[in-house]
Structure formats: C-alpha cells, structure tokens
Chains A and B, each alone.
Chain A
C-alpha cells in the first residue's frame, strides 16, 4: 500500500512564552489524510488545529519548535529548509484562509494574485499565459465573467466571491492537498453552503485531498468522511463521521454535538459545554478536559488518557466504554 497523502505522527509544537517559558500549543498529534479524502479537524479556537496546519506549511513563526513527523506522500517535511518548503507551499499544498477579506492583497488585482501563484512555481509560464490560466481558475471556482473579474481588485468582490478567489489561488498549481482553515466562518450561511459544495466538487473532480479545519461540527457533518476532534492541543477523538456522530465516545465530542441545533427544531439557546478551554499556559494535569467534564473521576485528574480504539472510533477518554454503556450520550441528534 502506498503512503497516505498527509501523515502527521506525534507532532508537538512549542512556543517560547513571554517570560521564556515553553508553551506547548500542540502535543503529540496524529493525523492521516488520504488522496481524494476530505478530513475534518474540529476544535474550538486555541485547540491547536490552526497551529498544526501552519506547521504542515512550515509557516510558524521562527520561534516555534517542532518535534515529530509530517510526511507528504511519504516525504518528511519536518526539518526542511525554508527554500525547500517554498517549493512545496502553493505547489503541492494549497492553503485557504479563514477571512477572505484579509487574505487577499488589496493593491493587486485578483487575476495578478492568482497568476503570481502560478509563476512563482512555473517561471517558464509567460505573463499572458499565466493570466489566461488565472481566468480559467476563476471559472473553475464558478466565478461569473471571470475575464472581467480577473482585472478587478479584491474590494470589488463580495465575501463569497473573495473566498472563491482564494480557493482559485490555492488551486493554481493543482496541489495534491488543500488545507482549508475555517473557510466558511466569515461568510453568510447560504454562501457557506456554496463554498462547501465547491470544495466537495474539487475533491471529487480533481481528486485533491482536503483538510477542513473548523470549529463547527455542522460544517463537517455535510462534507467530511472522517474527522478528528481536537482539544487543548491534542486529538481526543477520531473516526468516520458516521461512527462519531452516531455514538460519540468522548464527552467533549458529545458536548459539541449537543450544542448543534437539532434538525427541524428552532432552539433559542443551544446546550453549550460549561466553562471554556484553558489557556496554553494553564493546562491542567491529567485529561485537559476534566475541569469541564461532568463525568470526570479521580483518574481523569491524574492520568492523561491515551488514544485507543473503542468500538469503531479512536478516543482518548478513560471512561469511554462505560459512558456509552450507561447511556449518557443519547444526544447525537444531528443528521450526518
């Protein structure tokens, strides 16, 4: 069997804090994405999901320390020089940013910015040729009248159109992997659906592997086949979307699911998980989730749970089996 498209093994990322102390933003993360697969990475802000993705791109600030392994098609990326990484960024991996308002350079036309992405990696492509390709890419992401749109500046685009342009830019060199970091968060709900539909089409037609980073389980539900849930810099649950949604094993996942609006019902107040994630510098011992967990026992405070297979999913919770058996999680109402 060939190597997976993206394989992250035991990745940890440490930053230096204000007073020189080490802050571990990401701890021992494993993640596997196959070609043509859409994998969801779900977590609240500060869970380490964006840091993990920036680590894949080699775009962390110079002070960050990496350990573990990131392989793209079997090739190790950790330890590559910036010059080597530059040949991968934008060529093998495309990156889609959260806010299309700020991810486009306001002073360059959209066409120029896409053409730039092409010419950085294929200097032999002529200027006019690159512009033609840029127009084709805008057509690919379903922007109407792409010839005219290519000559316009970002501020002349609506939010959804900008995000399409950002996706076109990420797709410029037909990468094998797209990393979409909260691609729909800044957009209106109806536009969100269109962007997700576009990503799905790119996956299907172009066979591109996609990592969809989001805090919104609902977004993943419609698009992804498999997902990883992150909390406090760790993966706490991983499995196929169907399995996880049907029977979440981790109390955190269950909480996230419970906070989803139920199909068909109009809720004024969502069931939210009490409390908020701890800041990096104050992560508790044991299971990081225990201060917010209704089912925490003494063991959770002391011993950090390892990821293990429970039923169809992989989960990091000491009480994964009993919590399901005692039927505490009959909450998975959201339809996949």
Chain B
C-alpha cells in the first residue's frame, strides 16, 4: 500500500505535465483563429491591428517556443491573460475557485449523507420496498441532466413556492461579505453577518442538492454492497452477543467498516461533481470556475480554456490521490503495514 502511494506520488507530476501538454496542444491546433476572438471580426481586415495583436499575445512564435514560454510562466503562476476578461487567467481562477469549492463541498456533503443513509436503509431492508425506492432515487439522480433538474427545482422551489432564493450566491440586494477565504459562508460568519450567512446558506441549498443528487447513487450503491458484506461478518454477531441494540450494531459496528470501501469511490464521485458543477453553475449563475469554463469555451478564450483544463485535471488527480491516502489513514490495518515498512 505504501509503495503504491509512493508510486502514485511519483507519477503525479508526470501526469500533470501530460495534462498541461495536452491542454496546451489542444488550443494550438485549433481550427478557429484565436485572433478573431481577441480583436473582433471587423478588425481582422486591418493588418496593423492583426500584427500588433499577434505579437502582443505571442501568436507569432513557433510551437516549441510558445510551449516552453507557457511552461516557464506556469511555474511562476502565470497562466497568461484571458482574451475575454483581459485579466490574468490565474487571477480569474483564484477569484472564482472558492465559489466552486463551496458548491462542490456542500454537494459532496449532502450527496454523501443522503447516499449513506439510503445505502444503510437499502442494506437493512434488503430487497424490500425501501431498497427498491432507494435504488430508483439513486438511479434517477445519476440519470437526470443537472442542467434540467436545476431548472426544474428553481422553477418549483423558487418561482412557484417561493421557499428558496433564485440563482446567485447571495441576495442581489445584499453586499458580499468582505473577502477573507472567498467562501461566502465562512466570510459571512467571520464578519458576524448573520443575515448574510443565512442568505448564503439558503442560496446554496438548491444548487448543492441538485449537484449532490448526482453522487447519491454512486455512494448509496457502494454503501449498500459493503454493508451487506459487513453485516454477514462474525464481529457483527459478536456485537449482538454483547447485548448491543440494532441501531448500535448497524451504525457503530457495521457502517464504520462499510465506509472503508466507500471512501475509495469518493474520488470517483468528485469527477461527477466537477462535471456537474460546470453545468450547475451555468444554471444557477454561480460565479465559479464552471461558469468561467463555459464562457471561455463559448468565447474560444484559449488561455482561459487551457487554464481551466489544467486546474480541473490537477484537482482530479489530487482528489484521487487524497482518496488513496485517506483510505490508508482510516484503516488501521493499512496503517500498521505502513509503520512496519517505513
């Protein structure tokens, strides 16, 4: 296990370099001329402007040159300048990253809790009606396009019922809390702004639920399978022989053990959440990386596309690695083999 993690750690930078290279090459071999999106269609007939822009954005250099320059800049945290916002891409991303993280974490939280509850119930009442309903709920969540279910819940809970606020991170009349972490929930609390905190939390409910629903299915199926596995173990019988009640047996003894294999798929669900976040942010006007990516792709904003793709790939790689490490930390059996071999 340890050697496995070490191997993964060594492979990480290489994979990251691969990701960067692929992302960079993709925009180099683009069919559309990026100049069009920089200077606009009308200016394309003006050779002076074209030439100036070409030089300004370094489009006149050869591929290896541009690649090396990009890599060099990347090391210093420079991802180039967005054609669209005219801001450094790295800065754009930094500003937007907390919004996405806040959404994804909230979704992960909701999705995991619901998934675990559903999975435990499905295993406890195996093959009964609850099991089937849990399965249906999970499958619908994995099958519904978030860009439609998001619209639907907005229409129902915001427009029709008026229970929850519409799109955005905070009430449009409210002022965003002063920037500390970029997480509105945390910043509002730090500023002692309770009304703001409430508004932020309420704004999170719909997008996080819609997004979290997509991973409920993955989590609940996994929890169900490993719960069934664990419940047939002798230590479960041993716990009952101690006089432990059904709830204690189910949660304290079975679920704890069943969560181990479940951990391994949290990284996998993160992939779902990134995919979903891009679309969910678009629906909910969420000023995060997802909506930035969509805008960049629509506007053929190549520096921004490369930047987003690299950040997304890095997040993906890191989450998979963290999952492995978390697995090693939680299971005392793995912990021991680490101590022994180190």
| A–B: direct contact at CB < 8 Å | yes
Which residues of A does B touch, CB under 8 Å?
Answer: 57, 59, 82, 86-91, 94-95, 97, 99, 102-108, 116-117, 120-121, 153, 155-156, 166, 169-170, 172
Please name all residues of chain A whose beta carbon is closer than 8 Å to the beta carbon of B257 when the two chains form the complex: 105-107
Tell me if B233 and A102 are in contact (CB < 8 A).
Answer: yes
The listed residue (A90, A104, A116, A153) touching B241 by CB distance below 8 A is A90
Interface of A is mostly: mixed
Tell me if A104 and B245 are in contact (CB < 8 A).
Answer: no
Contact with A along B202-237 (1 / 0, CB 8 A): 000000000000000000000000000000011101
CA–CA, A90 and B244, complex, Å: 8
Which of A57, A88, A90, A166 is the most central at the interface, judged by chain B CB atoms within 10 Å of its CB? A90
Please name all residues of chain B whose beta carbon is closer than 8 Å to the beta carbon of A155 when the two chains form the complex: 332-333, 336
Interface of B is mostly: helix
Please name all residues of chain A whose beta carbon is closer than 8 Å to the beta carbon of B336 when the two chains form the complex: 153, 155-156
Tell me if A117 and B242 are in contact (CB < 8 A).
Answer: yes
Tell me if A103 and B238 are in contact (CB < 8 A).
Answer: yes
Q: Closest B residue to A54 by CB, please name it.
A: B237
Q: Closest A residue to B332 by CB, please name it.
A: A153
- 10 additional contacts, CB 8 Å, given A59-B241, A107-B256, A155-B336? A82-B246, A86-B243, A90-B243, A103-B238, A105-B257, A106-B332, A107-B257, A116-B242, A116-B252, A120-B243
Which of B237, B239, B331 is the most central at the interface, judged by chain A CB atoms within 10 Å of its CB? B239
Q: How far is the CB of A169 from chain B (nearest CB, A)?
A: 7
Number of A-B contacts defined by CB within 8 Å:
77
B240, CB-defined interface residue at 8 Å:
yes
B126, CB-defined interface residue at 8 Å:
no
Closest CB pairs A-B (n = 8):
A90-B243, A95-B241, A90-B242, A102-B234, A89-B243, A153-B332, A117-B242, A103-B238
Tell me if B243 and A91 are in contact (CB < 8 A).
Answer: yes
B253, CB-defined interface residue at 8 Å:
yes
Please name all residues of chain A whose beta carbon is closer than 8 Å to the beta carbon of B235 when the two chains form the complex: 102-106
Please name all residues of chain B whose beta carbon is closer than 8 Å to the beta carbon of A91 when the two chains form the complex: 243
CA–CA, A36 and B151, complex, Å: 72
B248, CB-defined interface residue at 8 Å:
yes
Contact with A along B59-101 (1 / 0, CB 8 A): 0000000000000000000000000000000000000000000
CA–CA, A121 and B331, complex, Å: 28
Contact with A along B325-338 (1 / 0, CB 8 A): 00000011100100
Q: Closest B residue to A153 by CB, please name it.
A: B332
Please name all residues of chain A whose beta carbon is closer than 8 Å to the beta carbon of B237 when the two chains form the complex: 59, 97, 103
Given A103-B234, A105-B257, CB of A120 within 8 Å of CB of B244: yes
Q: Closest A residue to B333 by CB, please name it.
A: A155
CA–CA, A108 and B249, complex, Å: 13
Tell me if B248 and A120 are in contact (CB < 8 A).
Answer: yes
Tell me if A57 and B241 are in contact (CB < 8 A).
Answer: yes
Tell me if B243 and A88 are in contact (CB < 8 A).
Answer: yes
Q: How far is the CB of A159 from chain B (nearest CB, A)?
A: 14
Tell me if B333 and A106 are in contact (CB < 8 A).
Answer: yes
Tell me if B240 and A89 are in contact (CB < 8 A).
Answer: yes
Q: Closest B residue to A89 by CB, please name it.
A: B243
Q: Closest B residue to A104 by CB, please name it.
A: B235
The listed residue (A86, A95, A120) touching B238 by CB distance below 8 A is A95
The listed residue (B234, B243, B331) touching A97 by CB distance below 8 A is B234
Q: Closest B residue to A114 by CB, please name it.
A: B242
